[in-house]
Chains A and B, each alone.
Chain A
Amino acid sequence: MATHGDGTHKEDLKIVLKDIGQVYHLKKSADGSREFQALKDINLQVRAGEFVALVGPSGCGKSTLLDILAGLTRPSSGAVYIDGKEITGPALDRGIVLQGYALFPWRTVRRNVEFGLEIKKVPKSERRGISDHFIRLVGLEGFEEHYPHELSGGMKQRVAIARALAYDPEVLLMDEPFAAVDAQTRETLQDELLRIWDETKKTIIFVTHSIDEAVFLADRVAIFSSNPGTFREIVEVDLPRPRHNSDIRSSAEFGWVRHRIWELLQSRPSQECREGGNIVVKDAISPSATI
């Protein structure tokens, strides 16, 4: 675990989520306007360099929370602080990696990685060196001039990670980034992500619906429940680092933490799904996602 000693604990806080709530006003029905509480009372403190995973059933508001962290959506109540300053919109201090890669297909790997640098108005001569570095970091050297459609799913996600890292954000926000790749590629990417995290010392918030993935990667796992989306519990993962997929998954500690989280997720069984909450949440989230 990445504890840096109790003395410096306060100053090391990178992200503070304070009483975040998100309410959507749905279409008016006969009995007046309906409100949908997507998020309620979300409180979380993330240390610099920490790896926090968010798990929960689909439609519980994980992605909404990530949108709020990215500054793409303003919360209805509460606030997010990064380095003690309240965030008011998107900025290059946070990098984002989404499930669908969201690469720009008309740009080569290199030009995709350089996208944020162009936005940042980094001169062309410097961009090349930076993109070289991050393409090497994600293990894609030799593919600089390839287009996304020439790459496999795993390679595309590496490009997306390199693109998010290239403009040097301190926080990396990842929304189910490995959900679309096959199981084997997924494990490789997880190992790679931990290596990259170790090399770059970023603070990472990682949304996933896989308990295994959360336990393997994170220092702490925040467990969501839905309707309204809120943290049921935050579990510390005390597994030793560096972790490798080959050995840690078979360890007893891994199984124990995994089981504990599984129990927490099960403890109020599928009530949220039965209420048709999933559909409503999806409808309610999508407008904010398209902006």
Chain B
Amino acid sequence: MSVTGESLRRFLLRWSGVAVFLAAWEVAPRLDWIDPYFVPPFSTVLREAGVMFRDGTLGMHLVVSLWRAVAGLLTAILIGMPVGFLLGRRLVGVEQALRPILTVLSQVNPFSLLPVFLLFFGIGETAKVAVVSWVSLWPVMSFTITATRNVDPAQIRTALSMGISRLDLYCKVVLPAALPTIFTGMRVGAGLTFLILVAAEMLGSSAGLGYLVHNSAMNYLIPRIYAGATFIVVLGFLLNRLLLHVERRLSGVWEAGAFVTGPAGPAGAARLPGPAVSVAALGAVLIFIVFGGLEVSRINREAASYPSEALKHFGHIGQPVDR
């Protein structure tokens, strides 16, 4: 009982900052402390979000953005993990030689690279997916290098003493041992993904959350800007939370140092979900990639079939709104 009371208190304390912020957002425009035309009250923004949700606009933009983010992240993982593995364990000398250039590349401001990506890949989906993979590739790769290099030598010695084959050593020891750290890299990559994706969608796109915000700004639909922006924040938060949850679950089990003394019971002990859960999660991602991809191309086709509409939006890009 007291435990639930305590956790409730902590929960309230933790979210009080958000509550105060939202209250201020609601009250300040209403009392004319700030111009309600520039900053509409939170309830107005919520109502706008509700309207967009009901007519399907929000869902459509969400699917497009999410598809791009997931496709980009998957590409980064498919490239970054094997390369990181190779550089981390097999080509240690090569990694040392490449480290400066890898550092420089990962430090390149991705926003400044956007025009280059548009040049190479056009304004189609490839450009967006490419720019997203570019930013998330570096954290995935560098975390994989670190993770595979820091596998407990005793685990490797034990496996080697059994005459394990190199392939088995990688699949049965190095990969699982490195997984929690690799997952951290994926989470960092996912965070950057959303940042760059919204920017990319603002520069050249006909759908997606970034486009939604940009297009609303072009058309002076101020509450819509805030609704879109808020939605992006919430989405990024949820995505981060999901990945953090998986990561904690993994490292809870991996943490070999923290052992319980006395009879070990199942109470509060972290358990790994069965392989069925991982397979289901992977399947869901794949299904989303395929069907989301079909949906995205349909949306793109529809946007293209209203040339006047599209032209109107793109025509504004060169002229920033004066504020």
Contact = CB atoms under 8 A, between A and B. Distances in A.
**Co-assembled chains A and B:** yes
A104 interface: yes
B243 interface: no
Contact of A105 (B159, B168, B172, B254): B254
A181 to B, nearest CB: 11
**Chain B interface bracket (under 10, 10 to 19, 20 to 34, 35 or more):** 35 or more
Contacts of A70: 157, 161
A135 to B, nearest CB: 15
A105 B157 contact: no
B260 A152 contact: yes
Contacts of A102: 152, 154-155, 157-158
Interface string B167-182: 0100011001101000
A98 B153 CA distance: 11
B158 A96 contact: yes
Contact of B168 (A94, A119, A163, A286): A119
Contacts of B256: 101, 103, 105, 148-149
A291 B154 CA distance: 11
A289 interface: yes
A72 to B, nearest CB: 6
A96 B220 CA distance: 72
Nearest to B176: A106
B157 A143 contact: no
Contact of A106 (B157, B164, B261, B272): B272
A88 to B, nearest CB: 11
A119 B163 contact: yes
**Chain A interface bracket (under 10, 10 to 19, 20 to 34, 35 or more):** 35 or more
A248 interface: no
Interface in A8-44: none
Given A100-B152, A118-B172, A72 B163 contact: no
A92 interface: yes
A290 B148 CA distance: 12
Interface string A74-114: 00000000000000011110111011111111100000000
Given A98-B154, A149-B270, A290-B153, A119 B164 contact: yes
Contacts of B259: 148-153, 156
B252 interface: yes
A224 interface: no
Interface string A134-171: 00000000010011111111011000000100010000
Given A119-B163, A149-B253, A149-B258, A104 B155 contact: yes
Interface in B270-295: 270-272
Interface string A261-291: 0000000000000000000000000100111
B307 interface: no
B113 interface: no
A163 to B, nearest CB: 8
Given A98-B157, A119-B162, A149-B270, A106 B264 contact: no
B255 A105 contact: yes
A289 to B, nearest CB: 5
Nearest to B265: A150
B262 interface: yes
Contacts of A96: 157-158, 161
A21 B203 CA distance: 68
Given A96-B157, A150-B260, A290-B156, A91 B163 contact: yes
A96 B176 CA distance: 21
A152 B264 contact: yes
Given A149-B256, A289-B153, 11 more contacts: A96-B161, A102-B158, A106-B179, A106-B272, A115-B159, A118-B172, A146-B264, A147-B272, A149-B255, A150-B260, A150-B269
Interface of A: 67, 70-72, 89-92, 94-96, 98-106, 115-116, 118-120, 143, 146-153, 155-156, 163, 167, 173, 286, 289-291
11 contacts: A72-B157, A72-B160, A98-B158, A101-B256, A103-B256, A106-B177, A119-B159, A149-B258, A150-B266, A152-B262, A291-B160
Interface of B: 152-165, 168, 172-173, 176-177, 179, 252-256, 258-262, 264, 266, 269-272
Please list the 4 inter-chain residue pairs (A to B) with the smallest Cβ-Cβ separation, ordered nearest first. Answer: A102-B154, A96-B161, A150-B264, A102-B158
